[in-house]
Structure 1
Amino acid sequence: MPEEDPSPKLEHDICIHIFTVSAAMVGVCLTVIGLLRVVISIHKQDTMADDFLAADSVLFLVSCLLSYWALRTRSTKRMYRVERCADIIFIVAMIGMVGICGFVTWAIALA
């Protein structure tokens, strides 16, 4: 009995994970922006962190939309290309989130 190729199933699973985590991270970014705005209004100190988080949430949204497109496409070749773009943008956004966390931590510590 011939074995099935497991890569399409694995690729489909990765795409679903990118889709769900990216959507959740958009919500996380928006929540943190709201919290930062409250802190900024109380302490009367402005920071660039909320601007960086807004840009980061856009990257997560683009990754989410691309992974959704990859899930919906019929062409396997196109699915791989779109999923690869979603994956790269997702990783860039996650690295950006870590950088923003460091920025917020050191801004609060130095204030």
Structure 2
Amino acid sequence: MTGRRVRGESERRESRQIALDERTCRLICPVAAALVGVCLTGIGLLRVVAVVHGHETLADDILSVDAVLFLIATLASYVAIRRQASGRVHWLEQIADRAFIAAMLLLTFACFVITYAVSK
């Protein structure tokens, strides 16, 4: 009796984990895609500031790398969602998750660089 209960709880936990992974990918895909656009907008604005004021910063380079990370997160989550019918690809979900977190951290760092570079 105890073996069945443990097995049942394990299956429910695994089912919840699969549902969580799918929801996470479905959230990462559109948000990361939108944040690629935010990075590109930031790069454009920084280039305008550089031309007008002659003030170069490292922030546009950081945002370029950030846009690539967000793109990786978008593509990995999209492919993981599309592969759902033929079998889950958990490693793609992990790539999407890690790339998204790294890109968010880098975006925050870029905000600090912009804030302190423009205020000088």
1:58 matched to 2:68? The reply is yes
Runs of 4+ more than 6 Å apart? none
**Structure 2: runs of 5+ lacking an equivalent:** 1-7
Greater share of helix residues, 1 or 2?
2
1:75 matched to 2:87? The reply is yes
Maintained 8 Å contact 2:58/2:113: no
1:15 matched to 2:25? The reply is yes
* CA distance in 2: counterparts of 1:28 and 1:103, whole angstroms: 16
Q: Secondary structure at the match of 1:85?
A: helix
For residue 41 of structure 1, report the CA deviation from its aligned partner: 0.9
Match of 1:93 among 81, 87, 103: 103
For residue 7 of structure 1, report the CA deviation from its aligned partner: 2.9
Q: In structure 2, what residue type is equivalent to 1:75?
A: G
1:39 matched to 2:49? The reply is yes
Q: CA RMSD in A?
A: 1.6
Q: In structure 2, what residue type is equivalent to 1:20?
A: P
* CA distance in 2: counterparts of 1:30 and 1:91, whole angstroms: 18
**Structure 1: runs of 5+ lacking an equivalent:** none
* CA distance in 2: counterparts of 1:95 and 1:103, whole angstroms: 13
* CA distance in 1: counterparts of 2:45 and 2:93, whole angstroms: 32
Look at both structures and tell me which one has the larger radius of gyration over its CA atoms.
Answer: 2
* CA distance in 2: counterparts of 1:88 and 1:24, whole angstroms: 17
User: For 1:46-88, what per-residue CA distance to the aligned partner results, in whole angstroms no more than 9, with x for missing partners?
Assistant: 1111111011101100110000111111222xx2111011100
Paired residue total:
107
* CA distance in 2: counterparts of 1:89 and 1:8, whole angstroms: 19
Q: Secondary structure at the match of 1:6?
A: helix
Identical counterparts, % of pairs: 43
1:109 matched to 2:119? The reply is yes
